[in-house]
Amino acid sequence: MTPSRAVDAFARRHRYSPLEALPWLAAFAAYFVFPDYLALSAQILATILFALSADLVLGYAGIVTLGHAAFFGTGAYTAGILAAHGWGEPITGLLAGALAAALLGFLSGLVVLRTTGLALLMQTLVVATMVTEAANKASFITGGDDGMQGMEVWPIFGRLRFDMFGHAGYFYCLTVVFLCWLLARHIVHSPFGRSLTGIRENVPRMHAIGAPVAQRRLTIYTISAALAGISGALIAQTTQFVSLSSLSLERSGTVLIMLIIGGVGRLYGAFIGVPLYMIAQDRFSAAEPVYWYFWIGLLMVFVVVFARGGVLGLFDRFRR
């Protein structure tokens, strides 16, 4: 093998492939094919971003978490509080949500990332619970159990109004999620992203090649928190409502389920798992309002038993 051939093969893996356009074409097509489901579609898009942010920490850096909703909810409440108190400009609202979530990610990461495995899992859960309780106590500003209402989101760029049919909201979500995906993809394929994969694969070895492991983990945790915050802010702005459930353990757990269904550590697992889960949830809950979780559970059992690596893992198996 010649050096240039090896280098080319190496570089090729980081180039864009035409397949990567598929989710975006599908998202674009969904606007025309399902015009009655724009609200759900926008939620799916925003949740894809949330799952993507979880994939960055779980799938790439190997940081297990049961508290990612803390960042999602912080973003949602930040955008919500701004919009309910006279600042409804959506894009700065998103950025504020990202910043608040990133700050929480950085500060909590300083503490919780000192551990790994089960201890880390518990600590992320504790952080999320603490944030939930804080939001519950601060009902004068968050609305507590009743949720936060009275948000007034201004038109995008002062022109595009968030209408009741969700046209503007859909393209707003699509654009934001696309930009965030672009960032995540760059990160994953950068030397920094590869070093995260190294940390996931073998921590002692990363220490031995002189990588500042703790610093790398904190960096990606903060970035991931920011993206989760944007996702929460997106949903808050498009639904004009924020409730305590945006911080809940259920949300932290659900995003993991969606990610596992799609495939962890692949960047595209979110694009498959989230729509699958959310559409199934929408259908099941319409047909079976009480027992729909049973069917979700059954789906999970099938994935775990027959499709380790999620749907994308299945594709891989057939390709071989």
Q: Which chain residues interact with other proteins by CB under 8 A? A: 1, 3, 6-7, 9-15, 186-187, 189-195, 197-198, 201-202, 204-205, 207-213, 216
Cβ contacts of 111-116, under 8 Å, gap ≥ 24 = 113/63, 113/214, 113/217, 113/218, 113/221, 114/214, 116/64, 116/203
Rounded to a whole number of angstroms, the minimum distance from the CB of residue 122 to other proteins is 26
What residue type is 206 in one-letter code?
M
Query: Smaller CB distance to other proteins: residue 83 or 223?
Result: 223
Q: What 3-state DSSP class applies to 95?
A: helix
Q: What is the spatial distance between Cα 297 and Cα 100, in angstroms, rounded to a whole number?
A: 34
Rounded to a whole number of angstroms, the minimum distance from the CB of residue 10 to other proteins is 5
Q: What is the spatial distance between Cα 279 and Cα 273, in angstroms, rounded to a whole number?
A: 10
Query: Smaller CB distance to other proteins: residue 18 or 158?
Result: 18
Distances (CA, A) of 176 to 58, 137, 220, 311: 22, 32, 20, 25
Q: Two tokens at 237?
A: 């702005």
CA trace torsion 54, 59, 61, 62 (10° rounding): 100
Query: Smaller CB distance to other proteins: residue 70 or 206?
Result: 206
Query: Smaller CB distance to other proteins: residue 160 or 211?
Result: 211
Query: Smaller CB distance to other proteins: residue 213 or 249?
Result: 213
Rounded to a whole number of angstroms, the minimum distance from the CB of residue 60 to other proteins is 12
Rounded to a whole number of angstroms, the minimum distance from the CB of residue 209 to other proteins is 4
Query: Smaller CB distance to other proteins: residue 167 or 185?
Result: 185
Rounded to a whole number of angstroms, the minimum distance from the CB of residue 26 to other proteins is 25
The string of DSSP letters for 231-246 reads HHHHHHHHHT-B-GGG
Rounded to a whole number of angstroms, the minimum distance from the CB of residue 113 to other proteins is 16
